[in-house]
Amino acid sequence: MVAKIRIGKIIPLLKKEYPDAKCSLDYDSPFQLIVATILSAQCTDARVNMVTPVLFKKYSTPEKLARAPLKDIEEIIRSTGFYKNKAKSLSEMAKSLVEKHKGQVPKTMDELVHLRGVGRKTANVVLGNAFGINEGVVVDTHVGRLSRRMGFTKEHDPVKVEQDLMKLVPQKLWALFSHFLVFHGRKWCSARKPLCEGCPIAPYCPRIGV
């Protein structure tokens, strides 16, 4: 069965299995989401969600974060790993929002990826979840791994994986599809011991590498 047909069978099953699938990061605004997403690099969403309440309480706006001493930011986000680089990214990103975007998170891919610490993946997270704009597919480790296992791509480079998925998944579902795969990776399709028996999409999955 070709990938386009299989994915058409799989998406409804994922919708049924994960009706509440959404971004795992806690946020109340586009600014909070871009901060949380930068912090999530090589860190679990659960850990980020433990750190951001403290950060947002102290630095609730781009203006406040832009003026924050780097040492203060570093101390708050230390447990997320790579905290020095992340602190610099947050500081410079906030300064750019204030100086170039009137303190608002921009709504275009081009503007977002020019912010420090923001690549295509982070931009897709912000556009898809904060603004409902399906510019692309977020490809994290779960999405890449499951996409290869399900036979939707052979690529390992996230940008190439995204390009393959964008050809298969309807654009209106790009953001949601990423959440489906993240949820599915956590519940059924782990890296080492996927629970293929009982998996709701097993009839349409070639189980590549399993």
- Reported as a single tens digit per residue, the pLDDT across 144-195 is 999 999 999 999 999 999 999 999 999 999 999 999 999 999 999 999 999 9
**Other CB atoms within 10 A of residue 12 CB:** 10
Domain covering 3-22+137-204: architecture: Orthogonal Bundle (1.10)
| Over residues 115-136, mean pLDDT | 98
Write down the mean pLDDT value for the chain.
Answer: 97
Q: What is the pLDDT of residue 1?
A: 78
pLDDT tens-place string over residues 32-42: 999 999 999 99
pLDDT tens-place string over residues 7-21: 999 999 999 999 999
Q: What is 30-130's CATH number?
A: 1.10.340.30
* 140 noted as active-site residue: yes
Among 15, 26, 140, 160, the one annotated catalytic: 140
For residue 207 the two structure tokens come to 């189980």
Q: What is the pLDDT of residue 119?
A: 96
Domain range list for the chain: 3-22+137-204, 30-130
Question: What is the value of pTM for the model shown?
Answer: 0.95
Cα dist from 166 to 4, 24, 140, 171, 181, whole Å: 11, 22, 15, 7, 14
Q: Percentage of residues in the chain with pLDDT exceeding 70?
A: 100
Q: What is the pLDDT of residue 46?
A: 96
- Please choose, from the candidates 47, 11, 53, 18, the residue with its C-alpha nearest in 3D space to the C-alpha of residue 32: 53
Whole-angstrom distance, CA of residue 150 vs CA of residue 180: 13
Among 121, 160, 164, 187, the one annotated catalytic: 121
| Over residues 79-83, mean pLDDT | 98
Whole-angstrom distance, CA of residue 33 vs CA of residue 55: 12
Question: If pLDDT is split at 50, 70 and 90, which confidence band does 53 have?
Answer: very high
Q: What is the pLDDT of residue 22?
A: 97
